[in-house]
Structure formats: structure tokens, C-alpha cells
Amino acid sequence: MEYEQLKLENQLCFPFYAVSRLIIRAYQEDLDALGLTYPQYLVLMVLWENDNVSVNTIAEKLILNTNTITPLLKRMEVSGLIIRHQSAEDQRKVIVSLTAKGTEFKVLAAEIPYKLIKKLKIEPQEEQIQEALILKKKLYELINLLENIEKQ
């Protein structure tokens, strides 16, 4: 029995899985220099855009469960990037805020995306930038499709 649909090279899921891990590996060197992990870097990106948000807000933006986010935030609190405090209005909510260190890291992190492009040894032309934007749009269409499965 051949089952073409079971061959690794015919899968769409596997290259997504591989690209995701390889991108994180590529970032690792620059993140290590800041003592960050990739998901911690994502949390910081959320906070740099909107500080003082609830645990749930971060979880929703990163499409992660609280059982992933909670210990992640605890480690980030230990390393002095953020602080967590209970909301006054709604005692169930835990508000996450950047520390001075967490805020300062934004300047250092700003170089990271450019460093990855340099590592890839590509010099994006207008055409390639447009292509990347189209790809990003398709990825978000896929995310929407995949997120709506669970709600059934």
C-alpha cells in the first residue's frame, strides 16, 4: 500500500513545523545574548505594544493557554522583565507590567529582526517584501481557519 498522503514530502503540516522550529533556532543566538527565550520575546512584543494587560490578553494574542503562559510569566518575573499584580476592579485578573529592564530591552531587541535577515544572506527587494506580505496574509487566513475548528 502506497498511501501518497502519508509521505512526509507530501505533507503541508511538516514543513510548517520545521520552519517554525528553524526560525526559533535562528533567533536563538540573538535572544541568548539578552537571556530571552523565543516565547518570552513574544510576550515582550505584546507588552511593548500594550503594557499593563491581563494574563488572558497575552494568552489570546499569542494563541497560548494559560497553563503555558502562567509559568512563563513567573520565570520572566524572576528574571526581572515584568511584574504581576492583581487587578483592583476584577480580583480574578492578574495584570502584567513591564519593569524598567523589560522596557529597556526594546531598544536592544529592535536589531533582532534585521540580524535574522542578515543571517539569511538575502537582500529583500520590493518584490520580495510584497511576496512576504502575501505569505503573511495567507498564514493569518490559515490561523483563522484553524482557530475556528475548535469552536465547533
Interface with its own copies by CB under 8 A: which residues? 1, 3, 5-8, 11-27, 38, 42, 45-46, 48-49, 61-63, 106-107, 109-110, 113-114, 116, 119-120, 122, 132, 135-136, 138-140, 142-143, 145-147, 149-150
How far apart are alpha carbons 112 and 29 in whole angstroms? 10
Calculate helix-pair angle for 38-49, 100-109, nearest 10 degrees: 100
**Alpha carbon distance, N-terminus to C-terminus of the chain:** 34
Q: Which is nearer to DNA, 28 or 128 (CB)?
A: 28
Q: Which is nearer to DNA, 133 or 146 (CB)?
A: 146
How far apart are alpha carbons 79 and 108 in whole angstroms? 16
The single-letter DSSP state of residue 62 is: H
The single-letter DSSP state of residue 99 is: -
Q: Which does 97 bind (CB under 5 to 8 A by kind): its own copies, DNA, none?
A: none
- In angstroms, give the least distance from the CB of 2 to DNA: 26
Q: Which residues bind DNA (CB under 7 A)?
A: 21, 24-25, 28, 37-40, 54-56, 59, 63-75, 84, 87, 90-95
Cell 542578515 -> residue: 118
Q: Which is nearer to its own copies, 12 or 78 (CB)?
A: 12
Q: Which does 73 bind (CB under 5 to 8 A by kind): its own copies, DNA, none?
A: DNA
The C-alpha cell of 73 is what? 510569566
